[in-house]
């Protein structure tokens, strides 16, 4: 038991961007260059969309892009500017202040890709980064793993019903993590939610994933 771990059971949340605000007005003007670097790492018959950025095979994070993503804010003149977090392909686009907070909470959980940001008129824009959670933990108890092995597609239903039971010893001091059973989801602890709220971060969504009841012997 570490100093950070509470005596009571760990409270976990699904962390994502909020879809309740309008589509943010930004674009990446050198997307074709980035896509070429992403496609070069995946075999032609892989089940990856040709118009999306993906992590390198076998791991999370970023490929070696030949140039920084060039983010232009306000080009469409429609929609709000980016909030502290936006979905962008397989990654998040995050503000400089959220990057600093994430790094201070759990630096080993993340990979960051610097972006060159300008406004529509060519003036320098606010700092933004592409962000990926790279830590993957087999974080569930034995019964949950058995359920997911028998029917992996049950994961969203179990998650939304708060029926996933976590192995806190496996999670240990990790603040952010993915799981191999459903790699697209990112989990975080209650302290992350509190820190983001205290810092006034905008655009994040936290969904409670703590089991409604624990199994006997869990």
Cα Rg, the chain, nearest whole Å: 19
Domains of the chain by residue range: 12-16+136-208, 21-133
Summarised one tens digit per residue, pLDDT across range 6-37 is 435 689 999 999 877 778 999 999 999 999 99
Cα separation, 65 vs 135, in Å, equals 21
Which strands form 26-28's sheet, in the order they lie side by side?
26-28, 70-73, 116-119
- Nearest CA-CA partner of 106 in 166, 173, 167: 173
> Which residues have a Cβ under 8 Å from the Cβ of 119 and sit 6 or more positions away?
72, 73, 74, 125
CB-based contacts of 84-88 (< 8 A; 24+ apart in sequence): 84/201, 84/202, 84/203, 84/204, 85/17, 85/18, 85/201, 85/203, 85/204, 86/17, 86/24, 86/26, 86/203, 87/16, 87/17, 88/28, 88/53, 88/130
Cα separation, 215 vs 160, in Å, equals 17
- Nearest CA-CA partner of 163 in 154, 151, 171, 152: 154
Please report which confidence band the pLDDT of residue 45 belongs to, taking 50, 70 and 90 as the band edges. Answer: low
- Nearest CA-CA partner of 178 in 214, 134, 213, 142: 134
Cα separation, 211 vs 156, in Å, equals 14
Summarised one tens digit per residue, pLDDT across range 111-170 is 999 999 999 999 999 999 999 999 999 999 999 999 898 887 889 999 998 999 999 999
Helix (H, G, I), strand (E, B) or coil at 153: helix
pLDDT at 4 over 60: no
Residue 174, number of CB atoms within 10 A of its CB: 16
Whole-number pLDDT of residue 198: 98
128: phi then psi, degrees, rounded to nearest 5: -140, 155
Whole-number pLDDT of residue 35: 93
Cα separation, 57 vs 64, in Å, equals 13
Summarised one tens digit per residue, pLDDT across range 57-76 is 999 999 999 999 999 999 88
Whole-number pLDDT of residue 2: 37
Summarised one tens digit per residue, pLDDT across range 189-215 is 999 999 999 999 999 999 999 888 654
Cα separation, 204 vs 185, in Å, equals 14
Whole-number pLDDT of residue 96: 98
Cα separation, 126 vs 170, in Å, equals 38
Whole-number pLDDT of residue 19: 76
């Amino acid at each position: 038991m570490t100093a950070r771990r509470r005596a009571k059971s760990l409270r976990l949340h699904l962390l994502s961007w909020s879809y309740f605000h309008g589509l943010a007005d930004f674009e990446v003007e050198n997307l074709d260059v980035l896509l070429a670097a992403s496609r070069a790492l995946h075999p032609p018959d892989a089940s990856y969309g040709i118009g999306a950025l993906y992590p390198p095979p076998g791991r999370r994070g970023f490929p070696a892009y030949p140039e920084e993503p060039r983010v232009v804010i306000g080009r469409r003149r429609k929609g709000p500017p980016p909030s502290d977090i936006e979905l962008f392909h397989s990654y998040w686009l995050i503000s400089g202040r959220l990057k600093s907070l994430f790094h201070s909470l759990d630096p080993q959980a993340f990979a960051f890709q610097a972006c060159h940001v300008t406004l529509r008129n060519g003036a320098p824009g606010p700092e933004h980064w592409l962000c990926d959670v790279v830590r993957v933990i087999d974080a569930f108890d034995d019964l949950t793993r058995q359920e997911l092995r028998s029917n992996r597609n049950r994961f969203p239903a179990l998650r939304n019903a708060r029926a996933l039971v976590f192995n806190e010893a496996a999670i240990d001091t990790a603040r952010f993590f993915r799981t191999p059973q459903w790699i697209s989801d990112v989990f975080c602890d209650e302290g992350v939610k509190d820190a983001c709220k205290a810092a006034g971060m905008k655009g994040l969504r936290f969904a409670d994933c703590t089991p409604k009841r624990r199994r006997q012997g869990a």
